[in-house]
Amino acid sequence: MVSQSQAHWPTVPISARDVDGPLFFTDEEWTLVRAATARIIPTDYDPGAAEADVVRFLDRFLSGDFVYASATGDGFLEIRGKEAEAWQARIKHRQTVYREGLAALKALSLDKYAKDFHELSDDEQDALLVETSGRPKPRHVQLHDDENFNSGEGGPPPTNQPVSDSGLGFFDMLVAHTRQGFYADPVYGGNRDFVGWRVIGFDGPKSLGDTVAGHYTTTDYMIMGATWPYAQSPRVQRFGR
């Protein structure tokens, strides 16, 4: 039996913002995730993960009900059959990674400071995330008018291929999903009021329907004359440096 394309899947009229609180996380986990993601993309002179409601994005993703937004953005596609089985298997693994990872982070916080993670100072929270990750905290990026000064920073813009979260441990998965929640279309629950897009100066579509209807295009953000593959084009490489 040939499965239908997504274009023929029925749409469930649900929103990632229908409910204010958690669907997957416990209240305690929600508070912990909100605090941890706020250190991964902190609030400074621009909004961070807290303002973007990244915790809601993560909660909706892990609930398993908000997978593919409909083309018009007025609901989510209803997954059935083998596709549903495959998705549930994928989500079950990630749910386990989060549940175990959050429990370990809570235990580490109580052991080190006798406080819950969200009660700690920024520096104390960062120290626990460094210990959890097993790597030093990334240094601040410094930009300079001299191109040589910026050598090694950034690089060419990424392609449109998504980064897989398969096989990631708790911390790396949390970082990947925090980025996704900050920059993904608001229909998925994060990027509240488009704050993630506004931080990088991206004026994005007001809804997925604008893109489908042809009312919005990313042409203004493309480097004209670039050759395929886009990220490897000499013009794009020069722009990245």
Q: What DSSP letter does each residue of 147-203 carry, written as one string? A: TTTTTTSS-SPP-SPPPP-TT--HHHHHHHHHHHHHHS-GGGS-SGGGHHHHHTT--
pLDDT value of position 155 = 46
Amino acid at 172: D
Apex 140 CA angle, 124 and 241, nearest 5: 155
- Contact in structure between 36 and 103 (CB atoms under 8 Å): no
pLDDT value of position 2 = 44
pLDDT value of position 152 = 45
**In the chain, which stretches have pLDDT less than 50?**
1-2, 150-157, 159, 161, 241
pLDDT value of position 32 = 98
Amino acid at 107: A
For the packed helices 170-183 and 54-63, what is the interaxial angle rounded to 10 degrees?
110
pTM, entire model: 0.84
Amino acid at 173: M
